[in-house]
Structure 1
């Protein structure tokens, strides 16, 4: 059981959710306001993506990240900023020639994937630790060992903590290899991502199996998507982990009831407190995870 829980809110993501809920943040102002709302509701960490304000689609525009991060910081709201670094690995083969990229492909190198991280210098950025069939379509997310090693080396140089996002056991295996190679500072920080097609399933058994493969002394959190968000939160707390909620992973508070980020955080806080724990403050999270700015 974890009695001192680090709670992250992933406020928007890059998925096709803007047409499904009016609460999904789109503009940098909306993303920043969502992070502030989550922090006031009890989240220690805000995990941020940005979206194209015109289309609502996920974006890796450095200027949009800079604007959103600046708005959060200028608000003087204490929250740990965690930026995605998962954009730029999308591959969809052409229907005419599978050897060539088709519509939706967005493949860039490690330096460009981290351009916004270098510009914004958050405390944390995500690092998706492997390649994955990301849906029932031909779309693939590609993150190769050389790319990951280069990204890990860069964020280590900048003093940004990588959140090692793992979607399957093989991802944990490679992340442990990077730890062994000295590319990840102690304690390594893992996020067990459950329920995403076609990665690890959102079950207690899967979470336990993945936890068992983590290196000694690692910090870890987990989340489930859609209706499994709160059940996986409770399981993670019971197993000694930290947690994540937010509209990136689930847009509903209850069946048929659309949520805001603040409502999901409040629900998470209630569950944690009813289990006998408490959510830690942003500064306590920095200290616990050994982030830049720790006491």
Structure 2
């Protein structure tokens, strides 16, 4: 059981959700406001993607990230900033020529994936620790060993903590290899991502198996998507982990009731407190996770 829980709110993501809920933030101001709302509700960490303000689609424009980060930092609300570094790994196979990329492919270099991280210097950035069939179409998320090794080395140089996002056991295996090679600063930080088609299923059994394969000194969090968001949050706390909620992973507070990020954080905090724990502050999270700005 974890009695001092780091709550992360993933406020928007990059998926096609903006037409399904009016609460999904799109513009930099909306994304920043969502991060602040989540922090005021009890989240210690805001996990941030950005979107094209005109189309609502996921974007990797460094200027958008910079505006969001500046707005959050200029506010009077403290929150640990966690930026995605996962954009730019989407390969969609062309239907007529499988050897070529099809429409919607967005593949960039490891260096390009980190442009906004170098500029913004967040507390944390995500590293998606492997390749994955993403959904039932021809979309493959690609994150190769050389790409990950380069990214891990650079973010360590900049003092940014990598959140090692793992979608199946092979991802944990490679993350442990990077730790062995000295690319990841102690203690390593993992995010167990469950329910993404076609990664690991979202169940208590799966979460326990993946948790048991982590290094003994690792800090970790877990999440499920859609209706399993809160059950997986409770399971993570019971197993000694931290939690992630937010509109990136789930749009609903209850059946048929659309949520805001703040409401999802409030619900998670209520669950944690009913289990006998508490959601810790951003500064306590920095100390616990050994982030830049931790108190010695």
Structure 2, unaligned stretches of length 5 or more? none
Q: Deviations over 1:235-267 (max 9, x none)?
A: 000000000000000000000000000000000
Instruction: State the shift of 1:96 in Å.
Output: 1.7
Q: Deviations over 1:67-97 (max 9, x none)?
A: 0110001113100000000000000011121
Is it true that 1:5 corresponds to 2:5 in the alignment? yes
User: Which residue is equivalent to 1:261?
Assistant: 261
User: Which residue is equivalent to 2:188?
Assistant: 188
User: Which residue is equivalent to 2:75?
Assistant: 75
User: Which residue is equivalent to 2:287?
Assistant: 287
User: Which residue is equivalent to 1:110?
Assistant: 110
SS where residue 90 of structure 1 aligns? strand
Q: Deviations over 1:93-151 (max 9, x none)?
A: 11121111100100001110010111100000000000000100000000000000000
User: Which residue is equivalent to 2:216?
Assistant: 216
Q: Deviations over 1:253-291 (max 9, x none)?
A: 000000000000000000000000000000000000000
Cα RMSD, aligned residues only: 0.4
Q: Distance in 2 between matches of 1:96 and 1:237?
A: 47
Structure 1, unaligned stretches of length 5 or more? none
TM normalised by structure 2 equals 0.99
Is it true that 1:123 corresponds to 2:123 in the alignment? yes
Is it true that 1:239 corresponds to 2:239 in the alignment? yes
Q: Distance in 1 between matches of 2:213 and 2:151?
A: 23
Q: Distance in 2 between matches of 1:200 and 1:192?
A: 9
User: Which residue is equivalent to 2:47?
Assistant: 47
Q: Distance in 1 between matches of 2:19 and 2:69?
A: 24
User: Which residue is equivalent to 2:230?
Assistant: 230
User: Which residue is equivalent to 1:167?
Assistant: 167
Is it true that 1:134 corresponds to 2:134 in the alignment? yes
Q: Distance in 2 between matches of 1:91 and 1:263?
A: 34
Is it true that 1:89 corresponds to 2:86 in the alignment? no
Q: Distance in 2 between matches of 1:16 and 1:106?
A: 16
Q: Distance in 2 between matches of 1:93 and 1:204?
A: 34
User: Which residue is equivalent to 1:99?
Assistant: 99
Q: Distance in 2 between matches of 1:51 and 1:21?
A: 15
> How many residue pairs are counted as aligned between the two chains?
295
SS where residue 64 of structure 2 aligns? helix
Instruction: State the shift of 1:32 in Å.
Output: 0.2
Q: Which runs of 4+ in 1 moved over 2 A?
A: none
Q: Distance in 1 between matches of 2:53 and 2:215?
A: 40
SS where residue 174 of structure 2 aligns? helix
Is it true that 1:29 corresponds to 2:29 in the alignment? yes
User: Which residue is equivalent to 1:147?
Assistant: 147
Is it true that 1:202 corresponds to 2:199 in the alignment? no
Instruction: State the shift of 1:216 in Å.
Output: 1.4
Q: Distance in 2 between matches of 1:156 and 1:109?
A: 18
